[in-house]
Every structure is written in C-alpha cells, then in structure tokens.
Structure 1
Amino acid sequence: MKKSKLFQLLGLILVISFTLNFTSCSDDDDPLPVEALITEFAITNAGGAGDLRIEGVISDFNILVVVPFETDVTALVTDIKLSEGASVVPASGTPQDFSTTRNFVVTNQDVSNTYQVTVELAEPTTGVITDIEIVSSVTLEAYATDINQGDRIINVTFNELQSTLAIIESISLQPAGTTYTTSSGTDTLDLSQDQSITLSFAGEQTVYTVTAHITEAGFNPDNTTLLLDKSSASGLVPTIISNENNRGAAFDGRYVYVTSRQDGNHVYIWDLQNPTADPQTLDFGGVVSGGTWMVSDIRVIDGSIYVSNMVMAEGGVFKVYKWDGIDDDSPETILEYTVPAADIRLGDAISIIGNPPANGYIFASNFAFPNNASEFYVWDFNGGKTDTPQIMPITPIEGLRMGQYGRVNTIPGDPDHLLVTGAEMGIAVMDFNGDVKYEVSEPMIQTRSFDPRVWEYNGGLYLSYTVNREWEANGAWYEIINVTEGASLIDALQGLNETSIDEKRVFKHQLSGPGLLWVGGTNGVGFSGDGKPRVMGFALMHGFIVHEFSN
C-alpha cells in the first residue's frame, strides 16, 4: 500500500511538472505585437551654425520640433528611432525641407502609420530681419531677395541690364522694438558693392550683409558684327536708291527690302548671305499698278511681303499687295480703297499686324501735310476681309500731332497695346482704340524717332528706332535702348530720365553726315539662324546698315 501511494504521488508530481513546462514553452512561443511607431525624433543640424541637436515632442502621430530662429529649415537632417522591425520614409539621416509640415510613413509588415512632423522657429532673442523687399531705384521693380539667417546674408538677384542702385521698399524686424541703419545712411543702396544693415535690440547689434548676385543678360555691345553697310556715312549708298524717291524699307533677319520709284518702280532685295551681290527685284506679276506712286511703303511679317502704293487725291485707289515670299511672282491685291475726299493721303507709311487678309489689321497713316491730320485709317481683317476702314484719331500726350510717317508695331508679351510714333510726336504706347497711354518726352528720346521696335534677347528687352531730324546738323542714326526694367513696357519707358538714359542707351550708329534734306526713316529687327538679333536702320536718301549682336 505504501508503495502504491508513493507511486501515485510521484505520478501526480510528474503531471504537474509536465503541465508547468508545457505552459512555459507555450508562453515563449507567442509573437510580440507588430508596431509601426516612431519612438524618438530629433533634428541634428539646427541653429545658425547647423551644429545643434533638438529633440522633437511626439504626441500621438504628430511631432513638433522647435528650433532656433536662425535655423535653415530647408535642409534639416533627422535622427529617427523606430519600433523593432519598422522602417520609415523618408529615411532617417536624409536632409529634408521643413518649410511646411512633412509626412513620415512608418511601416512594419502589414502595419503602417503616418506621422506629421512640423518644425517651428523659436522667437528670436536678438534683432533679426524676417522679411525685406528691395526694388530697382529706376522702376521700383522688386528684385529676388533671399535671407540667410545663419550667415546673416541678404542675397539680392537681378540681371546686368537692371540698375545696381536699389531701394529698401519694406523691411520687417523682430523682436518688437528692433531698429536698423544702413551702411549708406539711407534706404538707397548701391549694390555694385556689398552693403550692410545693422540692427539694434536691447543694447546688442546684429549686422546683415547685403550681397548682389548679377546674372548675365542681353547682348554685349562690344560683340557687334557689321553685316551690311549701304549708308551715306560710309559713302556706300547704292545709286539705285540714292534720291528722295526711295522712302520705304523693311528687314526680316536675312533680306533688306527697299521700295523705289527711282528710274521706274521697284522693290530691291539685298541678301545678307550674299552681301556683295547685286540686289534682286520683287516680281510684280503684272498685278501692281495705279496710284499717285505705284510703290511706296513696305512691311515684312513672318515671310510675307506687303507693299502699298500712295494716293493723294479724291477718287484715287489706295492698294496693298501681298507676296508669300521673295520668289512669289503672283502677288495678291488684298486691299483696294477709293479715297472719298480731298486732304486724304494714304500709303506713305503702312503697318501690318497679324496676317491680313486672313486676320489682323492694316494701318495707313493719313499724311500730315498739308492737312495737319493726326489719324490712322485702319482695316480690321479679324472678321473677314473688309473694305471699310475705321478712322482712328491719335492725340499725343507730349507731341503736337502724330505727323508724317505714322506707324505702329506690336509689343512682345502685350497683345493689348501697340507702339506708335510719327514725325511730330514721341515714341508712345497706345491701345487698339488709338488711346495713347504713355508718350516718351524729350530729351530722353527725341521726336522723329521712327518705326520703333521692341524685341527680346537673352533675358533682355530692347527698344530700337531710327532717328531723322531732317533740318538739324546731327544727321540720321539708329539706336538701341535697354528697356528691361519694368513690369511692362510703359513702366520701363517711365523709368527713363535724364540721368538714366545715357546708361540705358546701349548702342548708337550714325547713318549719315550732318545735313539732311528729307525726313523719314525705318527700323527693322530680325534674328539669325542661331537666334542672334540683327537690327537695320534706314534713312531716306541715306541708305541702310545692318548689325548683328551677341552676348
């Protein structure tokens, strides 16, 4: 019996022991819960010098890191600790831009959580510039400005065609009570060299350096190439266009066109790719006829050639012809208009906008002698071909009237306005109703600056025109003005003054000697195959010249 009880007791002990061991092994085999958590988050390159470690505060799935005010938040390096087995995107240790709240996605197997991390700048304890606007002293156009708080540098970026004289338009300082002074003693800074802004707060001073970053733009006048010279200043005017019967000229980047009534009626064409060759002539195809003058003015737009006759009496038929290129031998008569009364003279100067007759406009100025007219006759082709012109009066702001040889040209980037000028007004900007919005006054740009053109090259905006003062002893010339500064062309023109105009006039070339007998001139702008601008200046009786410009 005793043995039996002993065996029963030993058996019970073995069962209990086996049960305990089994339970213990089962506990060891249970997997840990899968978690996708950020357990620690820090920024390791905070502060102005980028050498401070700042721990973030984690609240649920939001993390806030408050760094010193001078910290550059655009490239902060993180140090992130995760729950076991988890990974995070973006990865720990990679620079991130915390200008705005960033999402960090933590993944562990099939578990994923998204944390929103916000970095805030602490309130400054010394004087700081939190924002600044620096503008051109010429046009008040704002320059691109960036503040490097760590190095206390204000970087100001503008191009070499813009003024180095700038103005602090506005400035924001912290903490409240901070004051500032500049190295110039005023809010006007000469950015041709570094300037400084000194802040004072609670007896301490902080100095910011203002540094200009001037980018290349436009063309270099020293890199000017003469392509073709047929001007009287060089004694090279061809005899076939040497008298007062040659009044219209145009240019398309390769060809120079001159209308001539000297020894017959012709349109001569010089080819810049063969500058020593005699000019070819445009084929009239038996179509061109009639008028007081059979050929008078010429315009070239996108490869199409437009030529007008001139009429100056009631009943005369004003005509405009169109060629599709220099080899077209069948020109189209796209406009015929019978002059209804006396004192109307059309055809001395025409302007083409768009692609008539498919669309666009034809402008013909009413010659202002002897009738003192100041008006355009305008044919609008946008609704189809039209025979009835709108008579558009032009009332200058500075000049007496538009005068002879009134022309308009388009303005790049501004479909609502046109350049306009004539013999008795300055270069002006008008809308398509003929309302003059701004007119440049003398002495910035003198009157009798004909056929003004605005064109772009290498980030620069330029205005070119041909001057013919007729009776004055300074002859004829063409010049180029830098009008890059300004939110619009009007802003740029308004920025011209007696102080700035000499700096803005980047090129001038004389076309003639001192004495002229006839007023009139044209200007043309085209581009080479590799995009370099080419400018032509033409003056009545004094021929033409073409230059190419590059940076």
Structure 2
Amino acid sequence: MKKFTITRILMLLGLFLISSGIHSTNKESIFDNIFTVMERTSSAGNLPGIIDNAGANRGAGFNGRYVFVASRQSGDYVYYWDVTNPDAPVQELNISGIGGGTFTLADLTAIGNHVFASNMVMPGIFKIYHWNGIGAQPSVLIEYDSGTARLGDAFTVMGDPDDFAMIIVSQHGGKSFYVWAMENGELNFDEPLVVTIDDLPANANFSRVTLPDGEDEFPVVSGPAGVFVLGEDEDIILTIEQSFFPGWPMYVNIFAYEGGRYFAFMHVKDNPAANVMYVLDITEGEDVLEALQILKNGTFAAKVLHSHDMGSIANGNASVSMDVVIDSFGNLWLMGFAAGNGFVVQRIGDAGPDGLLLPFMETFDGEGEDTPDTWLPEGWISFTLDDDGEEFNWYWSPGPSANPNGQMRSQSAYQDDGTWYVLNPDNWLVTPQIYMSEISGDEIIELSFKIGTGAQTPGFK
C-alpha cells in the first residue's frame, strides 16, 4: 500500500494546476517599476509602536487589501491596515473567545476573506482560529492535543478555503509537519496527517511548506536550514543549503508573472541583524526543479532582481511573512514582514477599470446648514440619496469658481429644471470618480459603506 502523503493529497483532490508556460521576459524593467504602496518599517522610521517588539509580534498576512499582524504586545490583538487607504487608523479584528497556549497568538496568514491565526504550545492544546471576513468573530478551526510536540511557531495555508485548502504546521524541535485539510470552509478531519521528513539536515523550526505557482508537484520546504524540494514520497530531491543565501531563507514563494518565474523570500540574519525581502530570477529551466538546480549552481548576487531592507532589529525567532498576490487586474503585490521590523507592501502594475486603480472611499458627516466650506481634490465627487433612498440626484459641483490649484469647493446644489438650489450637506460619500463602460440595463452596481458618527440617515447603498 502506498503512503498517504502531502503530494498524493494534492493529486487525489485535483489541486494540481496547469503549467504556467514560463518563457523569457524583460524582468529588470518589471522590477524597476515596483512601487511602495504602504510601509511601516524600522528602516523607514515609521514602525508603529504597537508592533515594535520582535518577540510579541510573530505573525502577519496579506490578502491583497489588508495587512494583518498578530500581536501579544500589551495584550492580545490582531491588527489590520487597509493598503487602499494608508493614512487611515489601524483597525482590530474581534478576538472574543481566544485563549490558551504558551502564546495566545503566534503565527498568522490570510487568503481572500479568510484570516487564520495560531496559538503556540510547547506542548499543549494547539489551536488555529479562523475569521471569515474582517467583521466576523473568530471560530476555533483546529483544537488538537500536541502530545510532546511544540506547535504554532509557523504554519501555511495552501489552496482556496472556500473550495479545498491544506493547513501545514511545522514542528519546533523535530522534523514533522502536521497537515489538516479544509473543504468548503470547514475542517475535513480533526486528526492531522503527520509527515516526518527524516532527511532534513536540521529540525523544522520555523519552516514552511509552499507550492510553486502552476507546478504543484514540487512542494518546497524553506527555513533556517535552507530550501528543500520534496518528491512524491516526501523524500528530498533537491537541496539548496543555507550557506548559498546571505542569511536564513524564510517563507519562500515561487511564482510566475509576465512570462517569468521568481523566487521571493524573507532574509533573516543575526550578528549583525538584518531583515530583507528578496526576489530572485529563476526563469531559466523547464520546470521548478531544473530552475532551482540552476539557481544552486550559480551565485546568489547574480540572481537578485529586487530587495527591500526592513530594518536591523534582531529577529532571532525568524518570525516573518512573505505573501505574493496577483489581483484580478493582473497587478503583482508583494508583502514582506519581519518581527520587530514591520511590514512593506509593494506593487507592480497599475491596472484597474479602464486602466485606473480602484479608489478608496470616505464618508463626510456634515453639519446641516452650518457645514463649513470643504475642499476636495480635483477629480473627486460626492453623492448621497434623496429622502426615499432611491435616486442619486445630489452631487458636488465645481460651482461658479474653482481653486486655481485644481481643487474644487463644496458648492452643493440640486438641479432639476435648470434652477440651482443651495443644499445642506450631511452624510456624504466622497470618492474618486469611477468610470465604467458596457454596463447593461439589467446590471446593478451596489456600493456599501459606513456613515459618519451622528448621521441622521439610516444608511447608504
């Protein structure tokens, strides 16, 4: 009887993807145009005080919209930042019912609307919590007696939690990985599949298992000991020793983009301390296995396409995150996190509807007839509903005069028969203009948003 392995789970459940068709591309020009969307790092001098302790902020994740950080600093929190509105105050997930473990909160990851966070036990009752959206209360997805094992320092979630996903937890102080499966948002089995990789040259401390984009037959283990490609029976078929890298190669992501193949990871080093996000070029090669062999046979410096210094605060637990997201418009997003040093979100591409980035929205709570003059950037509009909540017939107009710098004043007016009337703005939504095309009469676009404190209108859509 054949062993029941991680690779066979993937085969049985049809998770393998079609080959991504790697070919030559102008990689340098792609990464020359990378843009920092949001940065909160020690190196930038703007690391938030609420996450500046390396030992108490060990897990983070990015889902393409929000950066989440699990924190035990001055209490238990899961903070999140909205990258579409970098100046907005930090928010918090509901953590009611979370408790237990040596560390109540340790690692974290996010996929789509799903957020997962673990406790850490050494040993004890290991838990993974699940939020189905930022407004949800957490549920206990996994509750498992770890026996003698230390669990929770690092885990990965691979796949789509709404369809099928795998949760892989690495053991600290041993060479085992604990594997659970999710199907349709629910845990598939309570007891994990325990996979021990005896050939690892060191324990699996802080290691993660990831799958190369489009080439899932090559699971990759990365951690302080180096990078290892697993075969069908979890035997190691390729090793890139830690000494090839300038430090520990943590949380490797292998992905395809614009015809190239890339190797992104978080570098962690002590003496002297360093935390750097790297992207390497591994386009050459017919598949990931050959590409990594070529990487191993070359030099690290020759393969570096992009790097970003996070800071030099010691991160001895190698607590990091490295997330790669390609959005529905084809833009590439990178998020790197290093405990005690913060996070950075960078993007390649600016595609959106009609080539424009999707905007963020804000509410404006006016004061009726006492509302002061308000200035908005050029190209911004505001609208609300009439009293019956049906018609979008109130709007902002540049009015009789516009600011010479291109900003426009809040000349509120309603025009029905050609006559302008002064309005008393209250509870307005302001947003950059969104241009749409080819919208049929049968389609409805609904926008939902919060209204200002003290607003008289029940709500807007």
Specify if TM > 0.5: yes
- Given the alignment, which residue of 209, 231, 244 partners 1:408? 209
- Given the alignment, which residue of 351, 362, 365 partners 2:167? 362
Q: Which residue of 2 aligns with 1:307?
A: 117
Matched-pair contact (CA < 8 Å) for 1:356–1:381? yes
Q: Which residue of 1 aligns with 2:134?
A: 326
Q: CA RMSD in A?
A: 2.7
Check if 1:430 corresponds to 2:233: no
Q: Deviations over 1:123-154 (max 9, x none)?
A: xxxxxxxxxxxxxxxxxxxxxxxxxxxxxxxx
Instruction: Within 5 Å, give how 1:157-306 maps onto structure 2.
Output: 159-160=24-25, 216=26, 220-243=30-53, 244-284=55-95, 286-306=96-116
- Alpha-carbon spacing, 1:293–1:384, altered in 2? closer, same or farther (3 Å): closer
Q: What is the letter of the counterpart of residue 320 of structure 2?
A: G
Displacement of 1:234 after TM fit?
1.6
- Alpha-carbon spacing, 1:384–1:254, altered in 2? closer, same or farther (3 Å): closer
Q: What is the letter of the counterpart of residue 94 of structure 2?
A: D
Q: What is the letter of the counterpart of residue 366 of structure 1?
A: Q
Q: What is the letter of the counterpart of residue 133 of structure 2?
A: G
Structure-1 separation of matches of 2:102 and 2:314:
28
Displacement of 1:271 after TM fit?
0.8
Matched-pair contact (CA < 8 Å) for 1:454–1:464? yes
SS of aligned partner of 1:494: helix
Check if 1:458 corresponds to 2:269: no
Q: What is the letter of the counterpart of residue 407 of structure 1?
A: R
Q: Which residue of 1 aligns with 2:292?
A: 493
Matched-pair contact (CA < 8 Å) for 1:395–1:401? no
Q: What is the letter of the counterpart of residue 312 of structure 2?
A: G
Q: Deviations over 1:287-341 (max 9, x none)?
A: 322222221111112321111111113xx2111121122122x333221101223
Matched-pair contact (CA < 8 Å) for 2:279–2:307? yes
Displacement of 1:527 after TM fit?
3.1
Check if 1:353 corresponds to 2:158: yes
Ranges in structure 1 where 5+ consecutive residues have no aligned partner? 1-156, 161-215
Displacement of 1:550 after TM fit?
4.1
Q: Deviations over 1:355-413 (max 9, x none)?
A: 45964322111112xxxx1221222456972222222122456xx31442111112211
Q: What is the letter of the counterpart of residue 196 of structure 2?
A: P
Structure-1 separation of matches of 2:112 and 2:204:
28
Q: Deviations over 1:466-513 (max 9, x none)?
A: 0111x2215110100111111111110101156454332101111113
Structure-2 separation of matches of 1:431 and 1:254:
34
Identity rate, percent: 30
Displacement of 1:230 after TM fit?
0.9
What TM-score do you get using the length of structure 2 for normalisation?
0.65
Structure-2 separation of matches of 1:391 and 1:236:
41
- Alpha-carbon spacing, 1:518–1:296, altered in 2? closer, same or farther (3 Å): closer
Instruction: Within 5 Å, give how 1:63-82 maps onto structure 2.
Output: none
Q: What is the letter of the counterpart of residue 326 of structure 1?
A: I
Structure-1 separation of matches of 2:141 and 2:163:
10
Structure-2 separation of matches of 1:537 and 1:266:
20
SS of aligned partner of 1:401: coil
Matched-pair contact (CA < 8 Å) for 1:219–1:550? no
Q: Which residue of 1 aligns with 2:417?
A: none
Matched-pair contact (CA < 8 Å) for 1:312–1:346? yes
Check if 1:393 corresponds to 2:196: yes
Structure-1 separation of matches of 2:316 and 2:245:
22
SS of aligned partner of 1:490: helix
- Alpha-carbon spacing, 1:219–1:420, altered in 2? closer, same or farther (3 Å): farther
Displacement of 1:346 after TM fit?
0.9
- Alpha-carbon spacing, 1:267–1:305, altered in 2? closer, same or farther (3 Å): same
- Alpha-carbon spacing, 1:451–1:432, altered in 2? closer, same or farther (3 Å): farther
State the structure with bigger RCO (CA 8 A, min sep 6), 1 or 2. Answer: 2
SS of aligned partner of 2:94: coil
Q: Mean alpha-carbon deviation: is it higher for 247-256 or for 435-444?
A: 435-444
Matched-pair contact (CA < 8 Å) for 1:321–1:332? yes
Which structure: greater strand fraction?
A: 1
